[in-house]
Chains A and B, each alone.
Chain A
């Protein structure tokens, strides 16, 4: 792009009301999510953790959609892949690593729940159990509560494409439609429910069309285009906050890593397919945009990379040094106890 061209065009992020700082922060969080994910695999392969579930390829959807929320005020129900969401909402790298290692100080559950099942009351992050889609009714209920209390809180709930095959998806969206609740349903459609491809999950091309059956808008966006995701989510959040009811956002993306450490993705997809999507990496895409608009250069980019790596290594070091939960505490938090 020439200087003249740049002068004549309005940058997309400005049109969306995002500052250069916003954009660089989003980019940094996306890179942090990637770096944490890569470190989680090493920890798992090295026998330090029994399980890893990561987000490579989903960072665009996750970080950009969460950016459109009033973070700290709005309620967020991520699913197990939403590392980028929780970082964007304010969870620290250290807290993520405490979770991965199941330490007593893990703010998510103190080592009680499987990693990736994010739960952070202070940050309004609420998660649930492992069966897919089961958090969707919870989101409807949380939104019902905020509506009944007369608050303007918006609830954002995340899930994968596989979840849209489950009954709770239908029940939750129908319930939210009937009661006109302030919810944004965000589907990270990566084309596979673990190994089962979209063609065997749904008989429609775009899952967003399903929203019509629930009486509210559904939109499909390119999930690897962070700015497009931000724009769609912001609009949905505004609708919800204005009392106009739910929106279903389908963000098409791709998972660049296996489903979890219990998966071997070579059994169901070709290296060529993965490679093709690697060339559409949401982080690379945002980087190209930032460079295009002179918001980032090589030196600054390397500095961000170095900061991120340092943050991850510091997080691992602190988390590894953090004590394991006491065995005597194993029975805590089953029934509510005062104090």
Chain B
């Protein structure tokens, strides 16, 4: 099976969407000649031209707002916001407009809009380039929020997003772009709303999304050396949330650690814990543990930054506190 990087998987799927449907177009800042802040759209301008790959003013609200308009006007825009931190400048358009247009029109109009954006820290880019805000958007009815951790999932989820009539926040992670993984030549999709067991285990369930899936997998390898078999559940979609897969795993392992890169207070992990308490309480042998980012704006200095982001050792320690 061919291997692609996460970046290539997204690019190839964008290319496929542009080829398959002439209503699809890309819009963003630096996505043309520059090829995207993280190089995802490299080469697409040359291949598809300015009508399909539109560099637009660096103004997030109108990028999303015009995307909403174009979607209502019958096209299928894929808007790139350089990072999820900057999505706050468009948060009114995302939350008050994109998510609600179908409802506020009594079902008259859909907004088939994809907002591709980048979450997470670890690049030494400081406090307003390194946040994990996807959980905020997952709170809003009317939006779907996906967060692939592998090239396979990125391709499969993007294909599903392209077929959606509901607006989708497609959240990528800045440290995953060079991550390589298998992407089959045969067409497949990853349905939005389905979590994935990335590692099978019997002793504890570790739930994570985006880059934390890899942190959890690394922790699981360390734990295995000590005879603890962890099951790693990759959420893949935050909304709709696949509570079945989470709880089936917890009912089997009887223990759970919920990991997220973002802040703990009000973090998305709390939603996962809540689901476990609702559905698996009687199966738990220990309280559910949480591992999350430190409650601090992301520091610039490398050591300070590393201290603020969960590491495999933190997950290992959390698991050991339960077994």
Do A and B form a real pair? yes
Interface residues of A (CB under 8 A from B): 75, 106-113, 117, 119-121, 126-131, 134, 136-146, 148-149, 167-168, 170-172, 174-175, 178-179, 332-336
In the complex, the answer to whether B165 meets A109 with C-beta atoms within 8 Å is no
Shortest Cβ distance from residue A90 to the other chain B in the assembled complex, whole angstroms: 15
Shortest Cβ distance from residue B212 to the other chain A in the assembled complex, whole angstroms: 27
B39 within 8 A of A: no
In the complex, the answer to whether B61 meets A119 with C-beta atoms within 8 Å is no
Q: How far, in whole Å, are A30 and B284 apart by their CA atoms in the complex?
A: 68
In the complex, the answer to whether A333 meets B74 with C-beta atoms within 8 Å is no
B217 within 8 A of A: no
Q: Which residues of A contact B142 (CB under 8 A)?
A: 334-335
Q: Which residues of A contact B104 (CB under 8 A)?
A: 109, 112-113, 117, 119, 127-129
Q: Which residues of B contact A112 (CB under 8 A)?
A: 103-104, 106
Q: Which residues of A contact B102 (CB under 8 A)?
A: 333-336
In the complex, the answer to whether A131 meets B92 with C-beta atoms within 8 Å is yes
Q: How far, in whole Å, are A272 and B68 apart by their CA atoms in the complex?
A: 44
Q: Which residues of B contact A136 (CB under 8 A)?
A: 65
In the complex, the answer to whether B69 meets A138 with C-beta atoms within 8 Å is yes
In the complex, the answer to whether B73 meets A106 with C-beta atoms within 8 Å is no
Using CB atoms, name the residue of chain B closest to A137: B65
Encoded as 1 (CB less than 8 Å from any A CB) or 0, chain B from 52 to 76 comes to: 0010110101101111111111110
Query: A119-B105, A134-B93 are known contacts; what are 17 more A-B pairs with Cβ within 8 Å?
Result: A120-B108, A121-B109, A129-B92, A129-B96, A130-B96, A134-B65, A138-B65, A141-B72, A142-B70, A143-B73, A145-B69, A149-B75, A168-B61, A168-B92, A179-B54, A334-B103, A335-B166
In the complex, the answer to whether B66 meets A138 with C-beta atoms within 8 Å is yes
Encoded as 1 (CB less than 8 Å from any A CB) or 0, chain B from 32 to 60 comes to: 00000000000000000001001011010
Using CB atoms, name the residue of chain B closest to A118: B105
Q: How far, in whole Å, are A174 and B110 apart by their CA atoms in the complex?
A: 26
In the complex, the answer to whether B65 meets A168 with C-beta atoms within 8 Å is yes
In the complex, the answer to whether A175 meets B105 with C-beta atoms within 8 Å is no
Q: Which residues of B contact A335 (CB under 8 A)?
A: 102, 141-142, 144, 166
B137 within 8 A of A: no
Shortest Cβ distance from residue B139 to the other chain A in the assembled complex, whole angstroms: 13
Encoded as 1 (CB less than 8 Å from any A CB) or 0, chain B from 216 to 251 comes to: 000000000000000000000000000000000000
In the complex, the answer to whether B65 meets A333 with C-beta atoms within 8 Å is no
B255 within 8 A of A: no
B289 within 8 A of A: no
B2 within 8 A of A: no
* CB-CB nearest 7 A-B residue pairs: A141-B69, A137-B65, A145-B73, A141-B66, A171-B62, A110-B106, A336-B165
Q: Which residues of B contact A171 (CB under 8 A)?
A: 57, 59, 61-62, 65
Shortest Cβ distance from residue A124 to the other chain B in the assembled complex, whole angstroms: 10
Shortest Cβ distance from residue B138 to the other chain A in the assembled complex, whole angstroms: 13
Q: How far, in whole Å, are A128 and B97 apart by their CA atoms in the complex?
A: 6
Q: Which residues of B contact A142 (CB under 8 A)?
A: 69-70, 72-73
- Total CB contacts across the A-B interface at under 8 A: 154
Q: How far, in whole Å, are A334 and B101 apart by their CA atoms in the complex?
A: 9
Contact of A174 among B51, B59, B92, B100 (CB under 8 A): B59
In the complex, the answer to whether B109 meets A126 with C-beta atoms within 8 Å is yes
Shortest Cβ distance from residue A327 to the other chain B in the assembled complex, whole angstroms: 16
Q: Which residues of B contact A128 (CB under 8 A)?
A: 96-97, 101, 104
For A111, A139, A168, A170, which residue has the most chain B Cβ atoms within 10 angstroms?
A: A168
Shortest Cβ distance from residue B93 to the other chain A in the assembled complex, whole angstroms: 7
In the complex, the answer to whether A144 meets B109 with C-beta atoms within 8 Å is no
Q: Which residues of A contact B166 (CB under 8 A)?
A: 335-336
Q: How far, in whole Å, are A111 and B222 apart by their CA atoms in the complex?
A: 56
Contact of A121 among B69, B77, B105 (CB under 8 A): B105
Q: How far, in whole Å, are A174 and B62 apart by their CA atoms in the complex?
A: 9
B266 within 8 A of A: no
Q: How far, in whole Å, are A175 and B28 apart by their CA atoms in the complex?
A: 12
Q: Which residues of B contact A172 (CB under 8 A)?
A: 62, 65-66
Using CB atoms, name the residue of chain B closest to A113: B104
Q: Which residues of A contact B110 (CB under 8 A)?
A: 336
Given contacts A140-B65, A171-B59, contact A333 B92 (CB under 8 A): no
Q: How far, in whole Å, are A174 and B108 apart by their CA atoms in the complex?
A: 29
Contact of A139 among B51, B69, B71 (CB under 8 A): B69
Q: How far, in whole Å, are A75 and B65 apart by their CA atoms in the complex?
A: 16
Shortest Cβ distance from residue A144 to the other chain B in the assembled complex, whole angstroms: 5
Given contacts A171-B57, A175-B62, contact A108 B105 (CB under 8 A): yes
Contact of A148 among B75, B92, B100, B103 (CB under 8 A): B75
Q: How far, in whole Å, are A148 and B22 apart by their CA atoms in the complex?
A: 10
In the complex, the answer to whether B66 meets A175 with C-beta atoms within 8 Å is yes
Given contacts A141-B66, A142-B70, contact A174 B106 (CB under 8 A): no
Q: How far, in whole Å, are A129 and B108 apart by their CA atoms in the complex?
A: 15
Q: Which residues of A contact B101 (CB under 8 A)?
A: 128
